[in-house]
Amino acid sequence: MTANINIKNRKASFAYQLITKYTAGIVLLGSEIKSIRNNQSNISDAFCVFIDDELWAKNIHIDEYKNSGHNNHEPKRIRKLLLNKIELNKIKSKVSEKGMSIIPIRLFSNEKGKVKLEIALAKGKKIHDKRESIKEKDIKRDLDRIKKNQ
């Protein structure tokens, strides 16, 4: 029973310039897994921080599982990300640069049914960069319409 989980952070590519992507495991409770399989989670406001040489994800909202009873989880608790030491050192050295941050892009399940979090090193876009992104998206949409109608 592998539910196809694919929850995306659609704001990320608009607000940030994504530089490098990593796939990390995430430490979750049983009730959190069940809520994620029911598509009751949101990663649009989430970000990652280093605490004592470990990477943690904050503001990932996973709704409480209704059938869990009294053993339910806190919806916005801090969750540990699982990466190997080499990747953690690379990310930590890059984040120390000015303007770099770590943001979650996608929450998904792999072939084995394990829930993974795709994170990216990102640099915030300026207003004029965002305007260019909107223009490029509009041009691409118009070209696709023209091709479809021909």
69 against 86, higher pLDDT: 86
pLDDT at 27: 92
Average pLDDT of the residues of the chain: 87
User: What gap in Å lies between CA 15 and CA 130, rounded to an integer?
Assistant: 7
- pLDDT the model gives residue 1: 47
pLDDT digits (tens, 9 = 90+) for 105-133: 999 988 888 899 999 999 888 887 788 88
| Domain spans of the chain, in order of start | 6-125
What is the per-residue pLDDT for 3? 67
* 40's tokens: 């009751």
Residue 2 has pLDDT above 60, yes or no: no
Q: Each residue of 26-52: pLDDT tens digit?
A: 998 888 888 888 888 888 889 999 998
The full DSSP string for 74-118 is: PTT--EEEE--HHHHHHHHHHHTSTTEEEEEEEEEE-TTS-EEEE
CATH number for region 6-125: 2.40.280.10
pLDDT at 12: 85
pTM for the structure as a whole: 0.79
